[in-house]
Amino acid sequence: MKKNILCIVLLTISFKLLSQDSKISFELNYPIPLGDNFIGESYTGIIDAGVDYKFVNLSPVKIGASLNGGILINNKSDIFKTTAYTIQPRLFGELNIESIEKLRPSVGIGYTIMFFDVSGTDTTESTDTQSGFNLNFGVAYDIYKKFFVQFQYDFVKLGAQDNLPDISFNTNIHLIKVGVGYKL
């Protein structure tokens, strides 16, 4: 009896997730670091991938949570290479405008964690982690019913480190993300 109830619950959840009203979307972006800061001057974006889940519909605003992960590379030095891995959980609000249904502006607030992996020509390798507040503004445009293109801006305010001066060059990060997405 318990197995039958569990199967019914799992099937119901599966159908809900795969229905046209699904609240889940996946995105694939190209991150572009910019600005007068250590990321904007030295790093090149490789990829950013994410998943969004909208859990509340307060028409015309949908509230949700998202999780993005990205990779940035600093290979401007002949001596060492630094790879930055980003993790960005956030809460967001998406505005649905009836007169232009395909255009969906959004704003989000969250946290960014950056893992820096340094490898060099010698045997010296090191890692570092920095994190801080994240503010996100974006707009998505539905091309088809399930596919969309999007543009996002992320401002990240990293915490100051003991060994670095507490100036905007070391703490303020600006990222532009241009990408595509798929709604389940």
Q: Report which DSSP code applies to 8.
A: H
14-62 per-position pLDDT tens digit:
544 444 457 999 999 999 999 888 888 889 999 999 999 999 999 999 9
128, 143 in Cβ contact below 8 A? no
pLDDT at residue 111 is higher than 50? yes
Buried b (16+ CB within 10 A) or exposed e, 110-149: bebbbeeebeeeeeeeeeeebebebebebebebeeeeebe
Say if CB 39 and CB 173 are below 8 A apart: yes
Closest by CA position to 26, among listed 183, 154, 146: 183
Q: How confident is the model over 119-136, as pLDDT tens digits?
A: 876 656 778 899 999 999
Q: Which residue type sits at 152?
A: Q
Please classify residue 31 by burial: count the beta carbons closer than 10 Å to its beta carbon, then call 0-12 exposed, 13-18 middle and 19+ buried.
Answer: buried
pLDDT for the residue numbered 122: 64
Which one-letter amino acid corresponds to residue 76?
Answer: K
Average pLDDT, the chain: 86
Q: Please name each of the domains of the chain with its CATH number.
A: 26-183 (2.40.160.20)
pLDDT at 124: 65
Residue whose token pair is 């959980």: 89
SS3 content of the chain, % helix, strand, coil (to 5): 15, 65, 20
pTM, to two decimals: 0.82
